[in-house]
Amino acid sequence: MARTPIMGAGGIVVRGGGPRPLIALVRRRKDDAWVLPKGKLKRKEAPIAAAEREVVEETGYRVEIHDFLGAVSYKAGRKTKLVEFWRMQALAKTGRRPTDDIKAVQWLPLDAAIKQLELPLEQVFLRNVGPRALMPATKPVAAPPVVAPPAAPEVVPKAPAIVVAPERRKSFLQLILGAFTFRRSRA
């Protein structure tokens, strides 16, 4: 039977505006790797709420959440991990230090942030969604939608980026369908 993926969420956090906005990267204490701020969902936690919580805990900044940017999927040991990302604007420091599993926070221009990331999958993802993350802020997202989807929009918005680890080459839909597919064993 296919396993349910480990669900995670995070943000592409932008500070400043104008000609030189900066993107937040965090350095994990466990392996010294520079990564995008993200983490696992708590039980029954909405991905957008987890994304905000993880970013605040890891960067020490309050954020305003904007649009969904996409997801990355990769193998974590024997399990598949699926991490969803939102565009976020840093508002102000929270007054608290980042969580203990974060060694440092660094704010870099987009090109430098892409080069600094240690996970190739995150580099590809940021290269694809980074320009959109730096666009002027739109209305913030208040909460996850709980109503039926609206009628088809008049203008089709740009689709969120979905990056899949090269070794699996499955789309997000294939991953989800695979998680709910039962396999018969031969006796």
pLDDT for 24: 96
Cα-to-chain-centroid distance, residue 156:
22
Structure tokens at 153: 């929009």
Within-domain flag for 166: yes
Q: What is the pLDDT of residues 8-65, one digit of tens each?
A: 999 999 998 778 899 999 999 999 999 999 999 999 999 999 999 999 999 999 999 9
Q: Is 151 within a domain?
A: no
Domain with 46, as residue range(s), is 6-142+156-178
35 secondary structure, DSSP code: E
| 107 inside domain | yes
Whether 88 contacts 61, CB under 8 Å? no
Q: CATH code at 134?
A: 3.90.79.10
Higher pLDDT, 51 or 163: 51
Task: Confirm if 4 and 182 have CB atoms less than 8 A apart.
Answer: no
d(CA 37, CA 123): 13
Question: Does residue 79 lie within any of the structural domains?
Answer: yes
Query: What pLDDT shows up at residue 99?
Result: 84
The number of domains in the chain is 1
**In this structure, is residue 38 part of a structural domain?**
yes
CA distance 65 to 51: 9
What global pTM score does this model have? 0.73
- Digit-coded pLDDT (tens) for 53-71: 999 999 999 999 999 999 9
Is there a domain that residue 184 lies in?
no
Count Cβ atoms within 10 A of the Cβ of residue 128 and give its class: 0-12 exposed, 13-18 middle, 19 or more buried. Answer: middle
**SS3 category, 171:** coil
Separation of alpha carbons 123 and 36, rounded Å: 10
